[in-house]
Structure formats: structure tokens, C-alpha cells
Structure 1
């Protein structure tokens, strides 16, 4: 196969810059995933509930600004939103090492940074999802999502591998300097993308509530979008319960040091990378719709290997289970993201993304709190069992929807349902 065919969209200079910016930003994000809770666990000796609450604060932004973020982003150039969010997140992360060096670091400081960083991430993610169809065209969405997922998976491997030794060498708070640098370089690189969007035309009356309602109605009346949104909500709730106690379990029950924990998380990244590489082929063979429920059904139960782990070989088996969980998750997300983007008109992309994020991520803060409370009552291992069971059950909304038999993406975006009109979006599946 010629090299140009293998590169595909990477031959496009602007997509290549977005690809590189994604790599830098995601590298910083994956380091945060390890360093922020370890700053609470190791540097501040936080208990299980405090760690769970920190996890909740990282996602509370979805509840605070989730719905209006979509309407606001639809009024602006998405690329500009992404750049601004990256640069401000970089500055916010700098406050942790500065507070640590000044002897002022506290759990409340971590809560505040996690909350502000999470709010900015909402705006970044909504803009990012909305910008991709403009940059690559709707016909290239599966390839674009697959390549970006592959890069995110590579950083999922490299991030913990870098973060683990750094945490052991300089401490978790100082390691966040690397995250800040990654975010800043991502924003600077995104500035060099030459393809500009036209600024959305202002309507005569821009009513925030009305625009939010239009996006919410579109998603709720669309049977496939609705199923994916609620399936994600269940999955994310139990995933965060699981994740909130995963580092506690690894650090206190298996006796792993930061480097070993980093290797476990890198293994998850390996699974995610394999999933990104296989996503297009698996979706073509199984069907774009069926893979959305079948992939997690086959891989989520393997997350139950972790609470069985004890020091020794069983940790390796548990790591394989986590890698499989990541593999299935990425295969699902690549197909699901492509479906969501293909089904949505350009003018509603921001609101579709914000609405689905608000509902599907809205339970994440609750998952963090429940994870912390469950860890206090049942222990970290008991919470991991509950999380694995809940993630497996999350396949039901998608299995019971039209996605069960839809093998291909829609050829064009479905029309936006009007308030009071019939369910136009549902007819696209008949």
C-alpha cells in the first residue's frame, strides 16, 4: 500500500496540525489523570472520600455549564474556543506546583483547580467535536475520529509512563508542570491551523434558553442519539466509581509504587491504541450500530479481574482486563462519535455535543461521590466490583434502540426536529 494511502487525512496540513495539537494536549491530560489524585493521596494523605470528591470536582463542570456551553460555542468560531481553553487551562494547572513550593497546597486547592479545569474542558470538548466535521468533511468522519483516537491512545500509553517516574522523582504536584506545558503547546499549535470557519451569522434574536431547548429537543427526539446519550450516562457513572478507587486499590492493596501504577495505566493505553487501530475494520465487519453495544458487552466484564488482584501475577491478569476495557471503549466511541456527528446538522453540532455531554457526563460528579462513599463502606475492592457490573449493564439502552441493526452511517445529517412537530428524526431510521 502506498505511503500516501496509509497516511490518509494526515496528508492534509491542517488536520496534521490538529493531530499534533491533540497529541500534546492529551499527553498533558493523561499526566493529570495520574498526578492529580496522587497529589491528594501521597502528598496530602487524603482519605477515600476526599479522593472520590476530587474525582467529582473534575467533572462538575458538565453540570455547571454543560447545556449553555453548546449554545455559546455555536455562536463562536470553534477553533478560537479550543485555543483559548487550552491556554487558560495551562495557567490554571500552574497554580498547583506554585502552591506546593510555597507550602500552601491543600485539598481545597486541588478541588478548586479540578473544578475550573473541568469547566474549561467542557468548552474545549464541545468546540473540538463541533470543529472536526468542518475541518475534514462529513465523508471523512470515521477516519478522522479513528486517527485522533489512535493518537489519544498513544498518549494514554506515554502519559502514565512519563508521569509515574516523574511523580516518584519530583513529586505529583511538580509533575503537573509537564501537563501545563502540554496544554500550552497544544494551544499554540492550534493557532497555526490555517482553515478558518466563518463566524456564525447572528440571528435577529439570540435567546439562550430557546437555543438550549432546540438542542435538547433534537437529541431527545432522535432515537439513536437518545440511546447513546443515556448509555453513556450509565457507563460514565460506574466508570468514575471504578476509577475513583482504582488508584487507591493499586497503591494500598497491591503495594505498587508510582512507576508500577504508571505501567498499569499505560497498559490501558495499549488497549485503547489497539482499539483505535481496529475500530474501522471492526465497525465495517460487525456494523457501525451493533459495535456500539457489542464492544462494551464483551470487554466491560473483564474489569472485574482487578478487585481479585493481589501482589504478584494476578496484577498482570488484572492489567490485561483493564486493557480490554479500554479497547472496547475506544471501538465504541469511534463509531458512536461518527454517528453523532453524521446525524446532526452543522448549526446544531455544538448544542448536540453539549446536550449529550451534559446528560452523559452529568452523573460523573455523582459517580465520584458514590465511589468515595462506597470505598468508605465496602472498601476499594468492593467499589471496583460494583463499577464493573454497572459498566456492563450500560449496553442496554443502545441494544434496545435502532442501533442494534444499523450497519452504516447515515449519508447526511438528519433534519432538526421542530418544537411541536412530529418526530422527524425517527423517520430517518424507517
Structure 2
């Protein structure tokens, strides 16, 4: 809901333009650059579920402050930026802990199914959430969508408390200092030919994805002329591709293999993003929905494949640090893409910016052709250079 509700509050309630919309998107992802690396080391030291519960509580309070400020008549763009930034810090810890939590609950041969179900549920929420936010914006105000989003974090916390399976114990790594622990994760990623390529393709893809998504609400409202209520339903239609991608990922990998399936998901779907800038009033809105849905399907399926590979491939005591080492670059390019798109939108116009960002999106998957990934049908199950060391470290 916040993906639509916060930009709608900025655009429809506070009169923000493309630059402010880009800043808002950048603020929520900037924490990955600032604290992502130490967050991974901290998560590897702590039990993961309590970290996630604390993050839910903090996020609920932050999003609740937006409607309170609006009702008091003091809401401003600066407030939204602070909420986006602080909730982004919470998201860094929550996402890192959640990625690292699943391998402690499931055996390795169930990770692909587990990830597909989790991502499928998330994709379903990405359909319902924007629609609910748009409906609330139409019926009441954009601020009402933020209030509903705050309540969703309470639901998350309640559901987390209902997990009965105890987290599997992890080998206790030597506490050699935070910097040393961070360096271990970075070295593991830098030395591995598969993780290096996946990090590079993720960083480039997020740069392009965030570029068009950060100005998408402005594009639909100001350029295409869509009402605030309809924006949520259009974005929900685009997000429908996520459900197809999540549940289609395992079928793709069974048919083509994990490595070739990943290539198909990334290279075969990204060019459809070029349909989005063709959107216009009436039937031409279908270009945006179709293009966005296919892109999101490919990205989601790729995320399922990459996530399952990483969880099975990386030793458990390093998993949190490896995740944030990769996300440091993957998510670190997101604020850059958001700010760049906002600046381009202000300087060149919103539609030309959509063409530039979706054009980059169309070609980013070619990075996967670098390295060994494209030369085999399946991704490996352990680092090939030191199989015994990492097999025993579990």
C-alpha cells in the first residue's frame, strides 16, 4: 500500500512534482547504502524472528505518524521523507532477517517451494495493496491508505508470533569485530563468479526499475490524466504479473534448469517494459498494464530462482552478511535511480524519462552472459572451488 499511498499523498495532497517523487523513493532505499553492510553482521549475531518483530513495531509507528500529522494540519514533504527514510532502515533489518530466517525453517530441497509460496503471497499483496490504497484515496483520501498500511505491520507481527517451528541453531562464528565480519561477507561475494554476476545484474536492473517506478505515479496522474483512485488499480494490474512469476518459477526451472530458467526470465521479459511509455488515455492504458505485468513477472520469477540458489549455496553462518553484501549494491542503486529519474523528469519531461529508464531495463539482463552462468543448465549447490570447507561449515 505504501508504494502507492505515500506518492499519492505527495502528489495529490501536497502538490509534489517528479523531483519530489524521486526524492521520496530514494529516501526509502538510501538506508541500504548507509547501514546495509553492518546490518547483515548484526542479523547474523541475533535470532531472526525477534528482529523482524521489532521492525514491524517501528514501521507501524512511523506510518501512523503520517495521518496523525495530516489531521493536525502539519503534514509536509519533509515529514514524508523522514518516514520513508526511517521505515527504510527498518526494512533493511526486516528483509535481511527474513531472507536468512527461511533456511532455518526448511530443508534445502524445500527452499524453492518455500520461496515460491512466500513471493507468491507477496505478489498477491502487491496486487491487493495498490488497489486498496487507490480505493481509499478515491473514497476518503490518500492519507487513509497510509493509515491502512500502518495497520498491516500489526498483522505481520501477529502472524510472525504464530510460527511454531524453532529456528535451527547456527554455528557460532568467531567474533572478530564488526569490520572483519563485514569483510568476510564482501570477500565471499567478490570471490564467487556466480554471486558477482548476480550482484551486478541486480544493481543494474534496480537502477532501471526504480527509475521508471519512481515517476510512474506522476506519469499516470499528470501526463496520462488518470485519477488518483484509478492509479492504484492500474498498478495492481501490473503487479498481477508477480503472482504468475512467483508460481511459474519452479515450473520454468524444472523445464529448463535453474541457470537457463533465470536467463529466460530476465532476458525474455525485460524488453516488454518499453510498452509502458506508450500509455495514454482510454485503451492505451493497456500498454502500461501489459508491459508492467510482464516485467514484474520476469523479475519475480528471477528473484525466486536467485533467492533459492543463494539460500542453499551460502553457508548459514555467512548468509546474512552475504545477503546484505549483494543488496548493498543491488539496493544501493535504487536511490540513485530514483533521484536520477526525478531530475530527468524535471529537466526533460516525464514521458522521455520513462523511455530512458525502460530502455535501460530492456538490456540489463545481458550482464548474465558474463561469467559461467550461461554455460550450464543449472546453478551449483555449493561453491565449486572449496566444496569440502563450505559443506562442513553448515
What is the TM-score of this pair, normalised by structure 1? 0.87
Question: Is 1:230 paired with 2:186?
Answer: no
Aligned to 2:90: 120
Where does the alignment leave 5 or more consecutive residues of structure 2 unmatched?
none
Encode CA deviations 1:55-104: one digit per residue, 9 max, x unaligned.
10010110111100000000000111111111111111111011100011
User: What is the aligned counterpart of 2:383 among 399, 414, 427?
Assistant: 414
Partner residue of 2:352 out of 382, 391, 395 = 382
Q: Equivalent residue for 1:265?
A: 235
Aligned match for 1:109, one of 52, 55, 79: 79
Using the alignment, how far apart are the partners of 2:257 and 2:197 within structure 1?
Answer: 17
Residue of structure 1 in register with 2:339 after alignment: 369
For 1:405 and 1:290, locate their aligned partners in 2 and report how far apart those are by CA, in whole Å.
9
Is the 1:81–1:127 Cα contact (8 Å) retained in structure 2?
yes
Task: Give 3-state SS (helix, strand or coil) of 1:310's partner.
Answer: coil
2:296 paired residue number: 326
Whole-Å separation in 2 of the counterparts to 1:293 and 1:38: 35
Query: Which residue is 2:283 aligned to?
Result: 313
Q: Which residue of 2 aligns with 1:16?
A: none
Partner of 2:120: 150
How much does 1:199 deviate?
6.4
Query: Displacement of 1:196 after TM fit?
Result: 2.4
Say yes or no: does 1:40 pair with 2:40.
no
**Alpha-carbon distance in structure 1 between the residues aligned to 2:288 and 2:173:** 54
In 2, are the aligned partners of 1:77 and 1:200 still within 8 Å (CA)?
Answer: no
TM-score between both structures, scaled by the size of structure 2: 0.95
2:112 pairs with 1:130: no
**Distance of 2:362 and 2:254 partners within structure 1:** 23
1:70 corresponds to 2:37: no
Show the counterpart of 2:129: 159
By how many angstroms is 1:205 displaced? 3.8
RMSD: 1.8
Instruction: Give the Å deviation of 1:163.
Output: 1.1
The equivalent residue for 1:358 is 328
1:285 to 1:112, Cα distance in 2 relative to 1, 3 A: same
Give the paired residue count. 389
Contact 1:74 1:200 in 2 (8 A): no
User: Does structure 1 retain, via aligned residues, the 8 Å contact 2:104–2:168?
Assistant: no
What is the alpha-carbon distance in structure 2 between the residues aligned to residue 406 and residue 111 of structure 1?
45
Pairwise CA distance, 1:270: 1.4
Which among 44, 48, 57 is matched to residue 87 of structure 1?
57
1:233–1:361 contact (8 Å) kept in structure 2: yes
Residues 170 and 316 of structure 2 are in contact (CA less than 8 Å); yes or no, is this contact kept in structure 1? no
Distance in 2, matches of 1:259 and 1:402, equals 47
Instruction: Provide, for residues 351-373 of structure 1, a one-character-per-residue CA deviation record: whole Å limited to 9, x for no partner.
Output: 01111111111111111110100
8 Å contact 1:77–1:199 — kept in the other structure? no
| Secondary structure of the structure 2 residue equivalent to 1:395 | helix
| Ranges of 4+ aligned residues in structure 1 off by more than 6 Å | none
Which residue is equivalent to 2:180? 210
Give the SS at the match of 1:289: helix
Shift of 1:389: 1.5
**Aligned mates of 1:203, 1:388 — CA distance in 2:** 43
In 1: Cα distance, 2:130 partner to 2:34 partner: 29
1:284 deviation in Å? 1.5
Task: Please give the secondary structure, in 2, of the residue aligned with 1:38.
Answer: helix
Which shows bigger deviation, 242-251 or 185-194? 185-194
**1:253 matches 2:199:** no
1:200 is displaced (CA, Å) by 5.5
Instruction: Provide Cα deviations, 1:89-137, integer angstroms capped at 9, x if missing partner.
Output: 1111111011100011000000000000001100000000001111112
Residue pair 1:35, 1:173 contacting (<8 A) in 2 also? yes
The answer to whether structure 1 residue 300 and structure 2 residue 300 are counterparts is no
- Stretch deviating more after TM superposition (310-319 or 219-228): 310-319
Are the counterparts in 1 of residues 208 and 360 from structure 2 also a CA contact under 8 Å? Answer: yes
Paired with 2:286 and 2:359, the residues of 1 have a C-alpha distance of 21
2: CA distance between counterparts of 1:299 and 1:174?
34
CA–CA separation in structure 2 for the residues paired with 1:198 and 1:273: 29
Deviation (angstroms), 1:204: 5.8
**C-alpha distance in structure 1 between counterparts of 2:108 and 2:264, whole Å:** 25
Deviation at 1:226, TM superposition (A): 0.9
